[in-house]
Amino acid sequence: MHIYFSGIGGVGIGPLAEIAFDAGHDVSGSDLHDSLMIGQLQKRGVDVLIGQDGSQIQSVHEKKPLDWLVHTAALPDDHPELLFARENSIRTSKRDELLADIISTKQLRLIAISGTHGKTTTTGMMVWAMKQLNIPISYSVGTTLSYGPSGCFDASSEYFVYECDEFDRNMLHFTPYLSLITSLEHDHVETYPDTNDYRQAFIQFLEQSESGVMWEKDFRFLRTDPRANLDIFDEHVRLSDIQLAGLHVRQNAFLVLQTLTKLLPDLDQKAILEAINSFPGTARRFEKIEKNLYTDYGHHPAEIAATLQLAHEINKEVALVYQPHQNKRQHEVRELYTPDVFSAAKHVYWLPTYLSREDPSQDVLEPRQLADQLDQSKLTYAEMNDSLEDAVKQHVSSGHLVLVMGAGDIDAWLRNTHSVDK
């Protein structure tokens, strides 16, 4: 089967393309811009074209007819590649339909990792631990990894580990063997207009799962009755055996430990702990660029607070460079930018919001409007320019830890202005 992936460079679509490739399908695709994911795919021999005006999919189809077009949820209904697929009677779907098909066809047991925050790191940690324990594993993680491709299908595996996003209700297309819930709070208002809608989606997700693992505080958020197949843990449990930096990382690691203990009861728990404690992290999740300089994808206030706490464990002098993501999202989270969120940072450089798929009827919130609750004495309103580059270098040379956060183009700027010398 020849499968074409529209938006193949994205963190959701790219790993799925790798999985389809591993599963023996012909794979090709397109994206508007080059990316780390595209480079990873091209190294494996996947045909990726830059541009999406319709000529790319046509040229691929003429070489070898396409059977299936897989696209992102963000693709508009009148997109040239969707129109071409319909005109040529090519099957189309979002990513979940293809992934569910592969999991079912290959008779894999799905370990779905979902929740509001921490999915990528937790999924990466689960994959890492199983690899260290020599357990064959198929998986999909929404970032690049230092220890393997972002997506992998292993014909000898029994389990499929999946970063199961709640955006666009993606998670509800699956019936997991086991679900791990990292954390819960209302998010993605474009998909879930109110807290109860978000809550009900996760209740349904757990009902569709054969078993589950989660924290008691998140179970309380659901306001539902306990299920016999759900393991619920007190958030005040002892975490001293887990030696990773960052409270939220240790909490996620504890859930990974409990999940693996539940799935593989014959394994020595000490061996599982050793595997988890050796976890090297994933790209864009507190990723070290050079000494004292880190990059992180986080852009929600809860993620900012958790990552700053992690940074503060390593170095008491923390400078944060923050690029908010999407103006429409800033209207949703504006009131959550409280002093407590940024308490672990000695200085904050606040950039203009990265604009993407915006509502033109909304006023664009300026940095001073978003940061008006914060201590202005530790704030600098900045731009991605030579002045910011000099400030970052000065902090780094002074022994301060600089944390650069955002899901927009701030990471590319950072990598272009600093050497990657770990």
Q: Which domains does the chain have, with CATH numbers?
A: 2-92 (3.40.50.720), 106-277 (3.40.1190.10), 287-417 (3.90.190.20)
pLDDT reading at 420 higher than 70: no
Alpha-carbon distance of 81 to 97, in angstroms, equals: 18
Alpha-carbon distance of 402 to 317, in angstroms, equals: 9
Q: What are phi and psi of 367, to 5 degrees?
A: -50, -40
Q: What torsion do the CA atoms of 139, 133, 260, 175 make, to the nearest 10 degrees? A: 20
Burial class (CB in 10 A: 0-12, 13-18, 19+), 378: middle
pLDDT digits (tens, 9 = 90+) for 19-43: 999 999 999 999 998 888 899 899 9
Average pLDDT, the chain: 94
Reported pTM: 0.86
pLDDT reading at 272 higher than 90: yes
Q: So what's the pLDDT on residue 422?
A: 40
CA angle 252, 148, 291 (to 5 degrees): 70
Highest mean pLDDT among 321-325, 356-360, 415-419: 321-325
Contact status, residue 25 vs residue 2, Cβ threshold 8 Å:
yes
pLDDT digits (tens, 9 = 90+) for 331-376: 999 999 999 999 999 999 999 999 987 889 999 999 999 999 999 9
If pLDDT is split at 50, 70 and 90, which confidence band does 419 have?
Answer: low
Q: Give the residue-averaged pLDDT of 305-315.
A: 97
pLDDT reading at 12 higher than 90: no
pLDDT reading at 158 higher than 60: yes
Q: So what's the pLDDT on residue 189?
A: 87
Contact status, residue 108 vs residue 137, Cβ threshold 8 Å:
no
Q: Give the residue-averaged pLDDT of 67-71.
A: 97
pLDDT reading at 256 higher than 80: yes
Alpha-carbon distance of 336 to 370, in angstroms, equals: 9
